[in-house]
Chains A and B, each alone.
Chain A
Amino acid sequence: MSVIKVACVLVWLLGSFVALAEKSQHEEADLPIVPIEVGAPLRIDVSPKTFTFTGPRDRLQLVVTGYYANDEVADLTRATKVTIADGSIAESIERSIILPRKNGTTSATISVGGHQATIDLQILNRQSTEPVSFRYEALPSLSKAGCSGGGCHGAPHGKGEFRLSLWGFDPALDSETLIAEEFGRRVNFIEPEKSLFLAKPRNEVAHEGGLRLRESDLEHQTLVQWIESGCHVDLHQKRCVDIALTPGEGLTLKRPHHTQQLRVEATFEDGTVKDITHLCAYESSDEKVLRISRHGLAVGMGRGEAAVIVRYLEYIESTILTFVEEVPDLEWQTSPPQSYIDEHVYAKLEKFKYLPSELCSDSEFLRRVSLDLTGLLPTPEAVETFLNSDSADKREQLVEDLLASEPFHLYWTQKWGDILKLSARQMGHSGVVKFHRWIRDSVAENQPYDEFAKEILLATGSNLITPTSNFYRSGSDTSDIMESTAQLFLGTRIGCAKCHNHPYEPWTQDNYYGLSAFFNRIETRKTGRKGEVVVWMNDEGDIRHPATDEIVEPWVPGIDQMDLSADTDRRAAFVEWLTADTNPFFAKVEVNRIWSQLMGRGIVEPFDDLRDTNPAANQPLLDALTEDFIAHSFDRKHIIRTIVNSRTYQASSRTNEWNETDTRYFSRYYPRRLSAEQLIDALGDLTAIRESFSSVPPGVRATQLPAPDLAKHDRNKIGDIEFLKVFGMPERQTVCECERGDDSSLGQALELFNGTTLHGMLSDTNNRFHKALSEGRTAKDIVTDLYIRAFSRNPDAQELEISTGYLETAEDKAKALEDLVWAVINRDEFLFQH
């Protein structure tokens, strides 16, 4: 990968975070804040209990919490009166902030809601001439203003020929850039305010980034003071070792209470603690639920949960805030939970007052679960058997039958094919076919997921003999492979950390190269045999850290020292760590992926982007599924079965009065359009004119194809079939399943109105309906058959009347029947899984 490519990829990756970063700087005046109703708290609590000011510019943000009956809590910080015992030593200002005045000790009394609390204050070093810390005050100020974000000067090549390290992770470089680069033109020692790097964000000198700082901002003042003190840079001062956020535990706030002041403390290596609330940058994981002001005031916007993300230099902390409110007239009632899944889902729904939809009908369930497990519509025989069965456990029994069927094996093999990027372009025709067969066998045998991962990651030898070694052909180099592995099995997009510490996760650049070291010795070479590539592990070859040029030892999270003797396959140690029951990522990513494949949306969404700053819609549910998966020795079928048997999966896709606005907590089954492959197969089954594909055996369905780019030498690739293309069959270029687009496009609608695939099927005189007509079957018969095949149900009276009427009054009955089938195909009920 060229340097430019890497840089661009990073810009892209970071780009996806820019949105987050730039929403961070809300002014409180812009936020809809309801005044605090203090009421009658049972008690109050103040953080911190005592505080020592150790520097001349220190500040203290108090956080005052009220506890009420019914276990309710409220942030009372903004409604609190703060009185300092000795006003000459400290003063309190708005927002319950305390500033030091002179050295000494005093106390602050906090009064609110009829309660009082007192905290002791000690002020040291007030007269100290300690200069502004470049690293711990100036750089965070630039971060807070957004200057060093990935979309601005923190981009790999900076902006406007001014480059800062991302979020200030390289202070040495930044000091050089600010003070010395460009002949020192960025800093004006004589008139600090006129320094170019301040005048620009004040927008007094043209600045593409616009207005980022005002003179009244604390950040601005800090930067001016830094220049006044001679741009002092001490790269060896005591290090910050940790930051802590108050409230640290997630809180639930109930309207009218919907705001929470945050407080952040930094601990330095000598044990000093400073309040850095004013120096942190704040972000919200979901602006629809929560917005956060530049002063660290979180404001709930509606029902739901969101993470507050706090950044100070390379440190990131987050906490989850939950906002609930009373919904008048709602009487909470649900059918009894079928398993732990429903218990967790219902608990969450009750909290947010989204009443789950009722259970779906048998027809809906049959169609839904058949499409999800086999990719295909149920046959009329299956519909008849299922609908007519009186058995109490017929849904469970159906699930068992489907799980044991060959279409299930092949359809879920295709899902893995998407993720493992099976393509002839990368693996060659034989490689794809072999790897596909191996995955199919693994699914059919229900191979435990840990063994599945092991066999893929530890593949060695010829790709034609060991099919899984084709995995090592799916990327262009070992970094690519490592990044794919991390996304697949760890649910992390670690690519950012290639060039710098990950901006939203605890992954650092060291970690990136530590992980890469496991894969760095993999070698691949073509042999003389056509399509054959041999994969093996070299016993030497180390990866060097790009910043230090030192050899990086293999590393995994949570383990200090890896036991690696010189001649072992390094991957083995990685895989052992990966597949251990204690691995925090491995099982969780897979259950979340399965959930997302069945429910159309991950518990964590996107499903392979697990991080603290991207909270799950239902953490206890995710944890319970993970535990269950591990307890059942990574049995994937068990998880699929448990999910599809739950009432949550079997909920109707229709909304009720109380859950119309829920799009996240699974109060109903969210409808989704059939995939390109499902749709073309469904049309084939409906009309009995099946699409055939070159280079696979006859009878192979679209939902069972090994790869989209298989081709015979004289034919186009499968994926070039216009219908599959416009409906979004993925080309398998990235490990991300998001490649499978579900946007609707004009091309798709036109394809259904006027495309050769569907029109060919409808007008083919050998199709099911033309034949039925020529056999003289009645209109009612034909229409009923059509509905059973399309919707797994009988037509209702009105549908029957309209349809038979249309058919019987038509001059050209064959054409009228084509129209009728067309209309059925174009209904939501057909095009969508529901």
Chain B
Amino acid sequence: MIGVGDFKAADCAGIGRRSFLKTAAAVPFTLGSTHQVMEAAQAAQQSGRVKSVILLWLWGGPSHIDTFDPKPDAPMEYRGPFGTIPTKTPGMHFTELMPMMAARSDKYTMIRSMVTTSNDHPTAGTIALTGFHENAGPVQPNFGSIIAKDQLSTEALPSFFYVGRGIPRDLPRRIEGYGGGTLGKAYDPFLVRASEHGEVSIPQLDLLKGITPKRIQDRNRLLQQLDTAERRLESAGIDEWHRTHQSAYGLLADPKARQAFDLTQESDKVRSRYGQTTFGQGCLLARRLAEARVPYIQVNWSEYVETFSPNCDFGWDTHIFNFELLKDRHCPILDRAYSALIDDLSDRGMLDDTLLIAMGEFGRTPKISSRAAREHHKDCYFSIWAGGGIEPGRVIGESDAKGEHPITRPITPLQVGTTIAELCGIGARKRAEMKVLDGGSVINELI
């Protein structure tokens, strides 16, 4: 990696900012303009410091004002009922609902200037998870699918996990950008769920009646016996099929491959630190998967955005009882689970090569609605970044006095995905070769 030095710099919009120029990690489109830069890019690709990404997907649109970007000086109809508390980061305040995270703000960096382009949940969900609108040609791959395609999981585990109940959706439809998109179904996420008691269920691995691990072993042994070299076929596609077949076999038949899912191997103390909630236990499962070097784990807060409707599971879409729900349910759960996770990652020395991100698809309207709650707000929200070489303890971006718009350069989901890819060693050249994240740029301020 080549450090080129630090500069005082201005970007195109004329806003001064400290520039980085750690070429390797930060420069997209470095493609071969010079030997030096190419070398640096290659070095970054080889070392790719991030080995696992955990995305805490706060589905439904968490209110930024009531959590991490309070506006205590805004007019009454904006600011809401919650008081603010200082954090460990000088000048940064949260609402009183996030005390544990406030006490750990030296471990992560907060972005307060996120913007997206849709106020519709599934559409904004696709944008948030792929960087692109779902109608702009074929649906683009989820960031996790991109990482999964680039990095095979080291053990016999899938490379891209969804921890949660199902593919995130609202009542009418699911997020189109949930999985492989243009990269193909091969890179769809693998679904696994933890209950609030820490019981893990994996629908695809629930054996059908009549199929047992022993039978799967017998069958596979028979297959190996019959599959002699002279009958074997050769092609890249066949090699890939054999690898896939072997992973599936491992998951179904090899108890070791399933150890990563076994939360009973954690002490009660650890399990209760995360909270006896599905999200809390999901975060613990994510940590175990990251330990098993799964490249990308997305922990879904809920399957549905809605909070109360039948079959729904308390998403962040708080059109009614916003303040009550945040105070009594959502914020305590998130505050606890996030804090436990970041402590755990940090204690285990995993923060260097694990990237932890928390975000939703948009924020909520700063102005309180006639139902005494908040509606969808695409023009300003937050994301939280930790580990993976990100310099912690900072705030990036700033929203206006009412929390309606960023007053600094807005940061987009496409930049989120590009930054994730870059940190995982998928530089601009590789992205271009994979035909993904076209036109995306890295969030330079993070690095």
Contact = CB atoms under 8 A, between A and B. Distances in A.
Interface of A: 4-5, 7-9, 11-16, 18-19, 22-23, 25-27, 29-30, 145-146, 151-152, 155, 159-162, 185, 201, 203-214, 653-655, 660, 663, 670-673, 725-726, 728, 733-734, 741-750, 752-756, 759, 763, 798-799, 802-803, 806, 815, 819-820, 822-824, 826-829, 831-832, 834
A155 B438 CA distance: 10
A27 B235 CA distance: 33
B222 A208 contact: no
Contacts, number: 248
Interface string B231-252: 1111111101100110111011
A754 B29 contact: no
11 contacts: A22-B29, A205-B7, A208-B28, A746-B244, A746-B247, A749-B245, A750-B252, A753-B252, A759-B210, A802-B226, A828-B241
A754 B34 contact: no
B329 interface: no
A13 B4 CA distance: 34
B83 interface: no
Contacts of B268: none
A214 B29 contact: no
A815 B245 CA distance: 22
Closest 10 CB pairs of A and B: A8-B136, A15-B438, A749-B248, A210-B30, A745-B186, A743-B186, A743-B184, A210-B27, A206-B19, A160-B12
Given A13-B137, A832-B237, 8 more contacts: A15-B432, A23-B32, A155-B439, A206-B7, A206-B11, A208-B29, A214-B34, A802-B225
Contacts of B37: 210-211
A826 B231 CA distance: 13
A30 B39 CA distance: 10
Contacts of A672: 235, 237
Contacts of B200: none
Interface stretch (B50-58, B211-219, B282-290): B211-219
Given A749-B245, A749-B248, A754-B211, A205 B10 contact: yes
A29 B31 CA distance: 15
Contact of B222 (A159, A205, A806): A806
Given A206-B19, A673-B241, A828-B233, A22 B218 contact: no
B241 to A, nearest CB: 4
Contacts of B270: none
Interface of B: 4, 7, 9-14, 17, 19-21, 23, 27-38, 132-133, 135-138, 158, 180, 183-188, 190, 204-205, 207-208, 210-211, 215-216, 218-219, 222-223, 225-228, 231-238, 240-241, 244-245, 247-249, 251-252, 428-429, 432-433, 435, 438-439, 441-442, 444
A151 B438 contact: yes
A159 B439 contact: yes
Most buried by A among B14, B32, B237, B252: B32
Given A159-B441, A756-B208, A670 B235 contact: yes
Contacts of B207: 754
Contacts of A161: 12-13
B252 A29 contact: no
A12 B136 contact: yes
A15 B17 CA distance: 29
Given A753-B249, A819-B218, A5 B28 contact: no
Nearest to B228: A798
Contacts of B237: 671-673, 742, 744, 832
A205 B35 contact: no
Contacts of A30: 32, 35, 38
A823 B27 contact: no
A827 B29 contact: no
A740 B430 CA distance: 24
A22 B233 contact: no
Given A22-B432, A211-B37, A214-B34, A152 B29 contact: yes
B216 A743 contact: no
A194 to B, nearest CB: 13
Contact of B30 (A211, A671, A753): A211
Contacts of A748: 244
Contacts of B132: 8, 12
Most buried by A among B13, B137, B228: B137
Given A746-B244, A747-B188, A203 B21 contact: yes
B258 to A, nearest CB: 14
Nearest to A831: B241
A27 B137 contact: no
A750 B438 contact: no
Contacts of B247: 746, 749
Contact of B238 (A4, A671, A749, A752): A671
Contact of A655 (B138, B234, B435, B441): B234
Given A745-B184, A749-B247, A828 B29 contact: no
A800 to B, nearest CB: 11
Given A160-B11, A744-B237, A747-B204, A9 B137 contact: yes
Contact of B439 (A22, A151, A763): A151
Contacts of A725: 185
Contact of A753 (B10, B241, B248, B439): B248
Contacts of B32: 22-23, 25-27, 30
A211 B222 contact: no
Contacts of B219: 819, 822-823, 826
Nearest to B41: A210
Given A670-B235, A750-B204, A754-B211, A728 B185 contact: yes
Most buried by B among A30, A205, A653, A744: A744
Nearest to B4: A203
Contact of A210 (B10, B28, B205, B244): B28
Contacts of B31: 22-23, 25, 146, 210
Contacts of A815: 215
A493 to B, nearest CB: 12
Contacts of B28: 208-210
Given A159-B439, A210-B30, A832 B233 contact: yes
Nearest to B19: A206
Contacts of A14: 438
B185 A745 contact: yes
Given A25-B33, A819-B222, A8 B184 contact: no
A725 B185 CA distance: 9
A671 B264 CA distance: 45
Given A203-B4, A798-B228, A27 B248 contact: no
B438 A745 contact: no
A8 B442 contact: no
Contacts of B14: 185
Contacts of B135: 5, 8
Contacts of A146: 29, 31, 33
Given A206-B9, A671-B233, A160 B248 contact: no
A12 B137 contact: yes
Contact of B133 (A8, A151, A660): A8
A744 B241 contact: yes
Contacts of A26: 32
B45 to A, nearest CB: 14
A663 B237 CA distance: 12
B235 A671 contact: yes
A383 to B, nearest CB: 17
B219 to A, nearest CB: 5
B231 A828 contact: yes
Contacts of B38: 30
Contacts of B21: 203, 206
B133 A4 contact: yes
Contacts of B241: 673, 744, 749, 828, 831
Contact of B33 (A7, A213, A832): A213
Nearest to B23: A210
A8 B37 CA distance: 30
Contact of A754 (B180, B204, B235, B429): B204
